[in-house]
Amino acid sequence: MSKQLILASQSPRRKSLLNQLGYKFETVVADINEDQYSNEDPEHYVVRLAKEKAQHVFDLLANQDNSLVLGSDTCVVCDGRIFGKPNDLADSISMLTSLSGKEHQVLTAIALVSNNTVTFDVVTTRVFFKTLTLDEIEQYWQTKEPQDKAGSYAIQGIAGQFVKSIQGSFSAVVGLPLFECGQLLKQAGLTSVLPMSSE
């Protein structure tokens, strides 16, 4: 019997990305505390949250033997600081001013929980921003796009024009690293419905 895949996320971006891999899945929201621990480094933070999201949803399931839960978390890091979602315009201005004209890192972790294993991976992508004016930042805020995004921007949206280049995984910056996610799901024995080669 094939295992049921569940995505522990309400993010439409992660749902859309997982659809691209061709797996059938359901979504369940993971309601966890996402506060960063004192002195917690960014990689530990995103891996911990991805695991906690997946485990939280897995613990809610009645049929755990035939279920796999995928959790994911993304954070933006600049000069050692983790940028979450902005609280307001002032917060967005602070974040985007910090990112303006330089490189930052986007870390995305994925975790797959079953009844006997927890596997995970983390992907770091370097993103290079152009220099932004205050007017550009304020106008961008008015579009509402940055208001629920880590780092106060969406690379797949309007903010794509701010990005001079990236080194790493574009899909990871959006919210789910497709290559690494596909590898974890294959290792867990799931079969994609897409007619792709096994290479």
Catalytic (active site) residue 73: yes
Q: Which of 73, 91, 135, 148 is catalytic?
A: 73
Sheet strands (E) in 28-160: 67-78, 81-83, 103-113, 118-129
d(CA 50, CA 44): 10
Torsion sign, CA atoms 25, 27, 32, 35: positive
d(CA 93, CA 99): 10
Degrees to nearest 5, angle at CA 22 with 107 and 179: 30
Q: Using an 8 Å Cβ cutoff, are 138 and 97 in contact?
A: no
Burial classification of residue 51, based on how many CB atoms lie within 10 Å of its CB (0-12 exposed, 13-18 middle, 19 or more buried): buried
Q: Which of 34, 24, 30 is nearest to 2 (CA)?
A: 24
Q: Which residues are catalytic?
A: 73
